Amino acid sequence: MAEQCTKSVIKAGCSRRPRGMELFLGIFLAGLTVLVAVAFYYEHSKAEVPHGFSQRQKLYFFHYTLNFTLGLAKFLEKVGIISEVSFLRAAIEGIPPLKDKHLLTKDLSFERVPVRIYQPKASTTGQRRGLLFFHGGGGQFGSIRVYERMCCYFARKSNSVVVCVGYRLAPEHPHPAPLEDCLSATIHFMKTAEDYGVDPSRIVICGDSSGGTLTAAVAQALVNRRDLPKLRAQILIYPLLQFVDFELPSYQQNKGILAFSKERVLILTLKYLNKDLSLMEAILKGCHMPEDLQLKYQKWVSPDYIPHEFKKRGYKPRTTHPFSKELYTLVKPLFDLVLSPLLAEDSVIAQLPETFLLTCEFDVLRDDGLLYKKRLEDHGIKVTWCHLQEGFHGTIFLASLGEVMAFRSGNKGLEKIVDFLRLM
């Protein structure tokens, strides 16, 4: 009888403990659910998803997911678990690579710069065109692996030899390491193109976002190289081209689609340059611009050169703020041509190769592209312009990952890029 009582007490105690744990877990999960719901409501209220956008719910999903990931990265760094950069790199590197049975893939080094070459296996009667690709990621993210699907797509669809450049990233490798690597790899490939079945006169360079910045900078750096064949073309996919004016119409109209705002652009850039983020507010106001540079650059960077149709969604002229010499000294690299190719002299712009330029309506960098387009055309450079009316920053990358991730705008953009490549 005593033994039975003991067993019943033990059983009762065991049963009470799980109930307490279940209660704790229930409260925790309920709190977490409320927290996530509040976060989603907050993101929904500030999300800049255009009313006329035909794939609104899908864009909302990516907006929430990206903002949650960015927030989690900040939290994990704050509590000392993992740095923000390391966490985001790990998340991006989680994208599974794609092996294409129609392509031969080789990992090599060009002047100590890692590259991956994609060559079509199908036989050809002559030499192919070559495409050097510089990935985006703000100089801190992205890799050959992450962009493998896009490079495979270009190689397969355009029957080109594609070279993806795995340039060094900040903060481990400070500015201008990415440009140095991209330029070194490009020069090496131009000198050895025939070893890979490529016609040296049919070499194209290409990049998206900050990779587009690198593409423009490499093209400019090569204009006076008489010892090398001329580039056949450059492909700029929603490139970042200037840090002069953060109040252009596209910056005002597109405040945070997929978390890509003018603040995000500057945060990425200041981190890339290893500068204090407290400088951001003054830069956004234009306090980093001395008067002489304002006068010089306004002939190239001005809302006056943005067509009226791109101001219909709203634009207010910016207000002027006092210049800070100390700030200018700290952020002077922002005006280097490496980061601001739009500021190149006319003598350089006039020698650039034929250009394919892709812009997106719902992208803060839209007007950078429009201004560069004008400069190129003013100097007689042939420009094939693809403007994605429902496009946003990153849509080409998402399209390269497959139909589940793709938006119609991205699919259209990929097709237009391939069409251009086939003509080269």
Average pLDDT of each block of 10 consecutive residues along the chain (424 residues)?
46 50 58 49 57 84 90 96 97 90 97 98 94 98 98 98 99 97 99 98 99 99 97 99 98 85 96 97 97 96 97 93 97 97 98 99 98 99 98 96 94 99 98
Is 210 within a domain?
yes
pTM of the entire predicted model:
0.90
pLDDT confidence of residue 325:
97
Beta bridge partners of 257: 260
Specify whether 237 is located in the same domain as 385: yes
pLDDT confidence of residue 410:
98
Specify whether 108 is located in the same domain as 209: yes
Is 255 within a domain?
no
Specify whether 66 is located in the same domain as 125: no
Q: How many domains would you assign to the chain?
A: 2
The sign of the dihedral angle between the CA atoms of 259, 264, 269, 275 is: negative
Specify whether 100 is located in the same domain as 87: no
CATH of the domain at 144: 3.40.50.1820
pLDDT confidence of residue 32:
46
Specify whether 156 is located in the same domain as 54: no
Specify whether 69 is located in the same domain as 133: no
Are 162 and 131 in contact by the 8 Å Cβ rule? The answer is yes
C-alpha dihedral over 47, 93, 265, 386, to 10 degrees? Answer: -80
Specify whether 165 is located in the same domain as 34: no
Give the residue numbers spanning the domain of 193: 95-242+334-422
Q: Which residues are catalytic?
A: 209, 363, 393
Alpha helices in 163-279 (DSSP H): 177-192, 210-221, 249-253, 262-272
Specify whether 154 is located in the same domain as 188: yes
Specify whether 209 is located in the same domain as 346: yes
Is 73 within a domain?
yes
Specify whether 38 is located in the same domain as 187: no
Separation CA 387–CA 102 (nearest Å): 31
pLDDT confidence of residue 327:
98
Burial of 395 (0-12, 13-18, 19+ CB in 10 A): buried
pLDDT confidence of residue 8:
46
Q: How far is residue 9 from each of residues 5, 18, 45, 84, measured CA to CA in Å?
A: 6, 15, 54, 50
Specify whether 119 is located in the same domain as 208: yes
Instruction: Identify residue 34 by its one-letter amino acid code.
Output: V
Specify whether 79 is located in the same domain as 118: no
pLDDT confidence of residue 53:
80
